Chain A
Amino acid sequence: MSGSYYIPHETKWPFLSTVALIILFVGLSNYLNDESDLTLMFTGLALLMVMIYGWFSYVIKESESGIYNAQVDMSFRWGMAWFIFSEVMFFAAFFGALYYARELSLPWLGGDGAKVSTNIVLWPQFENVWPSNGPANYGGDFIHMKAGGIPALNTLILLTSGLTVTWAHHGLKEAKRNQLILGLIATVLLGFIFVGFQAYEYMHAYSDLNLKLTTGIYGSTFYMLTGFHGFHVTLGAIMLTVILFRCINGHFTNQNHFGFEAVAWYWHFVDVVWLGLFVFVYWL
């Protein structure tokens, strides 16, 4: 049993992926330093896409040829679970920044607790009210994003997509092919609708609310949290699309479908992060 653990042959994908990553980051650094345009970065990005495509297709081919046994499957599960945990910790850093700004740094700037002199000496006119762009009114007056409307709708969309992906999973497990594919199509569509609404919300914020990335700490936390989340939703939706095509091509069996489950886990993870965002960024 354990003796047949699959050890892959030599591989070129990781090394080439690293080369692509380095090209991407050197290009981006040069762009940020005003040394060049984004050509190099996009070259790296394109290479990275090729590498990811190549690497994943290879693994999918191996998986479909049936060389992965139950123990390999379990390694993948542990790997994905801990990867998602690392993502949770990444978001935790930004939620921590939001908490710190709202509960500590802004009250202190407003003269709370032992920090009376901070307020008196630096910004005596500043009062701590959330949302705030700081005592220097960074980015000018703005209107904050309300929880009702698009964010509430988006909450509904993501929660529904969590249900549809579970429905699809049941379809897979019970070998109901139509339920599987319909469920996945619905999930992918809901995912991209979410991203579309989010993009619309950003345009609305920039053009109508004067709420920008540069709008002090509120703008910073708002865009970084929702932005990274939106990026993860986009990734998740792309991953779901891949899974959809794999299902259409007849991949996975009702016993053996780790790829599907990994993406479903990931999708639930972005769902849960969104609930945190909805409560702490939009609502409270």
Chain B
Amino acid sequence: MSANLEHAEHHQPSGIMRWITTTNHKDIGTLYLFFSLLMFFIGGLMALVIRAELFEPGLQLVVPGFFNQMTTMHALIMIFGAVMPAFVGLANWQVPLMIGAPDMALPRLNNWSFWILPFAFTMMISTLFFEGGGPAAGWTLYPPLSLQGGNSMPFVIFSIHLLGLSSILGAINIIATILNMRAPGMTLMKMPMFVWTWLITAFLLIAAMPVLAGAITMLLTDRFFGTSFFTASGGGDPVLFQHIFWFFGHPEVYILILPAFGIISTILPTFSRKPLFGYDSMVYATASIALLSFIVWAHHMFTVGMPLAGELFFMFATMLIAVPTGVKVFNWVATMWRGSMTFETPMLFSIAFIVLFTIGGLSGLMLAIVPADFQYHDTYFVVAHFHYVLVPGAIFAIIAAVYYWLPKWTGKMYDEFLGKIHFWLTTIFVNVTFFPMHFVGLAGMPRRIPDYAVQFTDFNAIASVGAFGFGFAQVLFLYILYKALKDDVTVGEKAWDGAQGLEWTLSSPPPYHSFETPPKVE
């Protein structure tokens, strides 16, 4: 070990300053995860405001303007505040452990990419208390509606700029770490799947986030400096915004799911006690999904009046994505096939992920079909679709990852019985919440509207009950985490007997600097 490392440990400050000034990947990973958990509950409360209002037809609790602010902020917070930071937090903790590195490649940059987040979100959420309220045009910020917002608009745009900066810096760091910090002998095709999926996700982030920055910069100049990017009378086009936005937005969708694929590909082999089926094809499938994600964006805008050739191209390109995704689902099922399976909480969440994510994937395939999408567009069917891929998709994977690696991070084991209760409550209520949305969507209920026709009442009431049940189930999750940390059920190096990988060769919790001497990978 070098003198520099010793030097670093001697100087470690304590208390709040430790967290503000830390350059350690585990500290920063922990910060990310706690921040994400906080945002998950704030965004969740907003979802409950929405579901409470939609419990029955008519306007009961909130005024429509506030309802629109809730739908907008719920999305922004869950995407940029809950899911993305959770994945970055997992990457911070796990990538150095899994590739045998002492830390992330660029530790100061790592600190910066985290600390931008709380400030940017404070700025964004504070707009809810402005006169005129927060942003209310939906998270997609389509002009001309978004240009008509109140004083919140520049604050929201700059906060998104900052979030983008944070994501790009984080992604650069992760790529540099993976490409440059692997232990000797760990070739690219020996990397754990989670590392692979994050490498590809980081590439997507660096390619997509600057495009979002460009799009919202144009919004800002259109509103305040008299440019006409999105004004037809000046020669621009509001639809141009949609193209640029979704050129970012579709890769963003995969940014929100590829790390989840990596997590599931890690957990399934552990509890099936078999290696991952078709590792190489998993890598190629992930890369194919990422590349395809750049040529499918306009499937979000089939109804804006694109030329027929465009509709056809984006329809077929979108349906093509089902092929590599199918490869992945097949490989997951084949990994479990004839395995010595046990059903601990992370495994339960992973299996539910496969089933429920596939439902979301299949409804996505329905939405990809242009003539069908003309009917589904902007209905609750779309809401059901993307919540199926994001909640029992991304969120389930994150929860599974936390249960799976918590013993490694803390050296403590959670309460398996409570974990299973948490799993069943979450899984039942997630379906109670989102499954009925398929029905009201197909029947024509539009999204982002605080009121609805009476024939949609029953399914909406069911969905609202499900949402509150889901919310309370997550309070149990908090309690389980608290109990695990408080109780003294310790684990050894290898918390799961079927687990593979370098992280399980370290103590639980691992030393402050993970691998000071790089391990040799055969």
A interface residues (Cβ-Cβ under 8 A, vs B): 2-15, 17-19, 21-22, 25-26, 28-29, 32-33, 35, 55, 67, 71, 74-76, 78-79, 82-83, 85-87, 89-94, 96-97, 100-101, 104-106, 108-109, 113-114, 122-123, 132-136, 138, 213-214, 216-221, 223-224
28 pairs, CB–CB < 8 Å, chain A vs chain B: A2-B181, A3-B2, A5-B101, A6-B4, A7-B103, A10-B21, A11-B23, A11-B111, A12-B21, A18-B112, A21-B119, A26-B123, A55-B108, A79-B105, A79-B173, A82-B175, A86-B172, A89-B206, A96-B247, A104-B237, A105-B240, A133-B235, A134-B232, A213-B221, A214-B225, A214-B228, A216-B234, A219-B228
The answer to the question of B191 belonging to the interface, with a C-beta cut-off of 8 Å to chain A, is no
- Max chain A C-beta neighbours (<10 A), residue from B18, B119, B217, B227: B227
The answer to the question of B168 belonging to the interface, with a C-beta cut-off of 8 Å to chain A, is yes
State how many angstroms separate the Cβ of A137 from the closest Cβ of chain B.
9
Question: Which listed residue, B105, B226, B234, touches A78 by the CB 8 Å rule?
Answer: B105
- Nearest opposing residue in chain A for B100, CB measure: A2
- Nearest opposing residue in chain A for B154, CB measure: A29
Question: Is A3 in contact with B517, judged by CB distance below 8 angstroms?
Answer: yes
Question: Is A89 in contact with B237, judged by CB distance below 8 angstroms?
Answer: no
Give B98-139 as 1s and 0s: 1 = Cβ < 8 Å from A's Cβ atoms. 000111011111011001100110010000000000000000
Question: Which listed residue, B123, B173, B210, B234, touches A220 by the CB 8 Å rule?
Answer: B234
What B residues does A134 contact at CB under 8 A?
228, 231-236
- Nearest opposing residue in chain A for B176, CB measure: A78
Question: Is A22 in contact with B221, judged by CB distance below 8 angstroms?
Answer: no
With contacts A89-B207, A96-B247, A113-B307 taken as known, whether A13 is within 8 angstroms of B180 at the C-beta atoms is no
What B residues does A93 contact at CB under 8 A?
210-211, 213-215, 218, 244, 247
B interface residues (Cβ-Cβ under 8 A, vs A): 1-2, 4-5, 7-8, 11-13, 17-18, 20-24, 101-103, 105-109, 111-112, 115-116, 119-120, 123, 151, 154-155, 158-159, 161-162, 168, 171-173, 175-177, 179-181, 183-184, 206-211, 213-215, 217-218, 220-221, 224-229, 231-237, 239-240, 243-244, 247, 307, 513, 516-518
State how many angstroms separate the Cβ of A42 from the closest Cβ of chain B.
16
What B residues does A218 contact at CB under 8 A?
235
With contacts A8-B23, A28-B154 taken as known, whether A220 is within 8 angstroms of B229 at the C-beta atoms is yes
Question: Is A14 in contact with B112, judged by CB distance below 8 angstroms?
Answer: yes
With contacts A29-B155, A106-B235 taken as known, whether A7 is within 8 angstroms of B518 at the C-beta atoms is no
Question: Is A7 in contact with B102, judged by CB distance below 8 angstroms?
Answer: yes
Complex: A232 Cα to B220 Cα, angstroms: 19
Question: Is B4 in contact with A67, judged by CB distance below 8 angstroms?
Answer: yes
- Nearest opposing residue in chain B for A130, CB measure: B235
What A residues does B172 contact at CB under 8 A?
78-79, 82-83, 86
Interface class of chain B by DSSP: helix
Interface class of chain A by DSSP: helix
> Lowest 5 A-B CB distances belong to which pairs?
A93-B214, A134-B235, A14-B112, A217-B235, A136-B233
Complex: A78 Cα to B199 Cα, angstroms: 13
Question: Is B218 in contact with A224, judged by CB distance below 8 angstroms?
Answer: yes
What B residues does A87 contact at CB under 8 A?
210
Complex: A237 Cα to B102 Cα, angstroms: 36
Question: Which listed residue, B13, B21, B210, B244, touches A97 by the CB 8 Å rule?
Answer: B244
What B residues does A92 contact at CB under 8 A?
210-211, 214
With contacts A10-B12, A17-B112, A90-B211 taken as known, whether A5 is within 8 angstroms of B181 at the C-beta atoms is yes
State how many angstroms separate the Cβ of B513 from the closest Cβ of chain A.
6
With contacts A105-B240, A134-B233 taken as known, whether A7 is within 8 angstroms of B225 at the C-beta atoms is no
With contacts A89-B206, A224-B221 taken as known, whether A15 is within 8 angstroms of B244 at the C-beta atoms is no
Complex: A35 Cα to B224 Cα, angstroms: 14
- Nearest opposing residue in chain A for B224, CB measure: A32
State how many angstroms separate the Cβ of A9 from the closest Cβ of chain B.
5
- Since A3-B518, A7-B103 are in contact, a sample of 15 more A-B pairs with Cβ atoms closer than 8 Å, ordered by chain A residue number, is A5-B101, A5-B181, A7-B107, A10-B13, A10-B18, A74-B180, A79-B109, A82-B172, A85-B207, A89-B210, A90-B213, A90-B214, A114-B307, A134-B234, A220-B227
State how many angstroms separate the Cβ of B469 from the closest Cβ of chain A.
38
What B residues does A223 contact at CB under 8 A?
227
Question: Is B154 in contact with A219, judged by CB distance below 8 angstroms?
Answer: no
Complex: A159 Cα to B159 Cα, angstroms: 37
- Nearest opposing residue in chain A for B12, CB measure: A10
- Nearest opposing residue in chain A for B227, CB measure: A220
Question: Which listed residue, A7, A32, A83, A114, touches B8 by the CB 8 Å rule?
Answer: A7
State how many angstroms separate the Cβ of A131 from the closest Cβ of chain B.
9
